[in-house]
A and B are shown apart, each in its own frame.
Chain A
Amino acid sequence: MTKNIDITLKIWRQKNADVKGGFETYHASNISIDMSFLEMIDVVNEQLTLDGKDPIAFDHDCREGICGMCGAVVNGRAHGPEKGTTLCQLHMRHFSSGDTIVIEPWRAKAFPIIKDLAVDRSAFDQIIVAGGYISVNTGGAPDANAIPISQEIAEKAMDAAACIGCGACVASCPNASAMLFTGAKISQFALLPQGRPEAALRALAMVRKMDELCFGNCGNERECEVECPKEISISNIARMNREFFKAGLGSAVM
């Protein structure tokens, strides 16, 4: 059942944000095809460590495709070639012996490199700080079943809420735009009755913050929705646009 492969890796190495980086080549042999991509890097790192070299830095935590911590551009594809899959859930059975795999960090002005493949995505947090919440204090909520919400709406909101904040949308967007991420959060709350009271304020504030952080602009190229590991749809970007125009032109919110 198990099979092993030999591969060549070209990995982006960069000491920190202030110095220039470049590619280094490594050979990984006897890689079991049942390994996850990150386990493969673990194996390479073990060897680098034993050889007295600096192991490759990469972010990861849950290794189940839910925390959104991992991510790299593999052969030009964010999170690698599989659809709906984070890097940690990508398995080596999708590669063949003899392959050369080029691994690069997310590249965007708003995501400066920390080291090697690890980048700083705190810009996403800032977008949420700008308005990605419903303003309810603990304690005052009515009964959970007080407001029925149709299953269809709840499911749509859930589709949008499934975003793991990994940044693959930005990484794969030819324009390094964060509109899928922002659109998903604005959509989740715009769809639900609980989120309506602040919808206008939220849409304006979050979009403005996103602009301020130097993300690019959506060109409706749809690369993000294809690469998104949670398959968030660009219909959420359209909804964000509607919410923003409604708020900017139709509401009294400045």
Chain B
Amino acid sequence: MNWFTNTFGSSLGKKLMMAVTGLFFCVFLVLHLAGNLTIYMGKDVFNSYAEHLHSLGPLLTLAEWGLLIFAVIHISSGLLLFYQNFKARPERYAVNKRAGGRTLGSATMPYTGVILLLFVIYHLFNFHFVDKTHTTIFQIVSNAFAQPSYVLIYTFAMIIAAVHVSHGFWSAFQTLGANHPKYTPFLRGLSLVFSLIVGIGFGFIPVYVSLLV
């Protein structure tokens, strides 16, 4: 097992795990968004999407466990990297100036990450760990977003998610070694487009739902 811990325990190994799990989350976001967008087709379509999802049974449980494990990996490696990075420069600079490489997204990864973590927990308690026997998912959602504070928190969290993936998306490719003079600029652009889709796609749903009720 030595080679295994040597590889995955290294800086690059942790980065590899971050990238793979992060990209997996990006795929998850796309699927999740696709599902959520059904809300624009009315509450029945939305409810039936939810039912379909739940009818997957063990498959869904597997996906949920998968997400959880990946989350643990992503978060623990992320925090470990953050801690190591912090320790790598015990004395900070008096003057900090960006040279032009850093972006809002890249500079805030650990912070947006932690906010996302808090949000995900909050989100699960709102919509996942709730008793759904006497109500529909649409009901839960519209009840929640009837309160302006929920709308605010959700929209804010989605902006944060957008900021996180604006760097995370292309960064994961770079980490995996996919850097090419022809395609990297395209990936960087795509990263921004992706973050806009995430931000606007998810972010607008709470607003939309709050306007419905």
Contacts and interface: CB of A to CB of B under 8 A. Distances in A.
- The judgment on whether A and B are partners is yes
A237 interface: yes
Interface residues of B, number: 45
B25 to A, nearest CB: 17
A220 B175 contact: yes
A133 interface: no
Contact of A174 (B91, B102, B170): B102
Given A73-B93, A239-B177, A241-B176, A109 B102 contact: no
A219 B106 contact: yes
A182 to B, nearest CB: 10
A248 B7 contact: yes
Contacts of B6: 204, 208, 248, 254
B69 interface: no
A98 B170 CA distance: 42
Interface in A144-178: 172, 174-177
B139 interface: no
B188 to A, nearest CB: 10
Contacts of A216: 84-85, 87-89
A78 B102 CA distance: 14
B183 to A, nearest CB: 11
A210 B88 CA distance: 12
Given A77-B97, A177-B85, 12 more contacts: A107-B92, A109-B89, A216-B85, A218-B11, A220-B106, A220-B175, A221-B107, A223-B102, A224-B101, A241-B175, A245-B176, A248-B7
Interface of B: 2-3, 6-7, 10-16, 81, 84-85, 87-102, 106-107, 109, 167, 170-171, 174-181, 184
Interface of A: 23, 73, 75-78, 102, 104, 107-110, 172, 174-177, 179, 204, 207-208, 210-211, 214-227, 234-235, 237-242, 244-245, 248-249, 254
